[in-house]
Homo-oligomer: A and B are copies of this chain.
Amino acid sequence: MRTREGNKEQAILEAAVKVFAESGYHAAKIHKIAELAGIATGSIYSYFQNKQQIILAIFDGVWRQLYQQIAVVEQSTEIPVIQKFDAIIDMVLDLFTEDKDRALVFVNEENHVMRDYPQEFTPYFEKFMVTGEEIVRQGIKEGKFTEGISIEILRTYLLGGIRSLLVAWATEPKKYPLSHVREDLKHFIRHGITRQQP
């Protein structure tokens, strides 16, 4: 018998994130991922069925983490609703702080992955969304958020804005320092662009 040495699956995933971030999913070459992971090309296939399963696994990992965290926030009765949004921002930014490449893959590839393999896309995505909407509903109920707005539209808008900033930061960290992004983002979400009356 021969046993598997090391955590190759993890190594592959990490290598894949790097390569996908750099060249995009389609241009990414399996042999390059293998090289980066320090294994042979063929070995990839004893850990993943094929290329698409690799990217699906990456998204599963990200959304699983995000869902677990938003679930905690949602449940909390300590935090005022309005601050739950802050917590979500922090949580998303923190998740990617140490890993720009993951941020890039997360933002750049999601659209086509969801389109191309809708059946196999991680269920944590849906769960995350539902939970987020729950928070918004809570805020409206408490009279803290504007009523009459569409929750769907709000969440799509916010997520889009956040994503866009993630790419910007990951691509040009100097120009978009995370600390500023964090603060400005929280401000815009709460108050929009209109100046606050003193």
CB pair A144 B188 closer than 8 Å: no
A5–B82 alpha-carbon span in the complex (Å)? 62
Interface residues of A, CB < 8 Å — how many?
51
A181–B191 alpha-carbon span in the complex (Å)? 18
Enumerate chain B residues within 8 angstroms of A188, measured Cβ to Cβ.
Answer: 149, 154, 157, 192
A105-157 residues at the B interface, CB under 8 angstroms:
107-108, 111-112, 115-116, 136, 139, 143-147, 149-150, 152-154, 156-157
A163–B181 alpha-carbon span in the complex (Å)? 19
Binding site for B on A (CB under 8 A): 24, 26-27, 82, 85, 107-108, 111-112, 115-116, 136, 139, 143-147, 149-150, 152-154, 156-165, 167-168, 175-176, 180-181, 184-185, 187-196
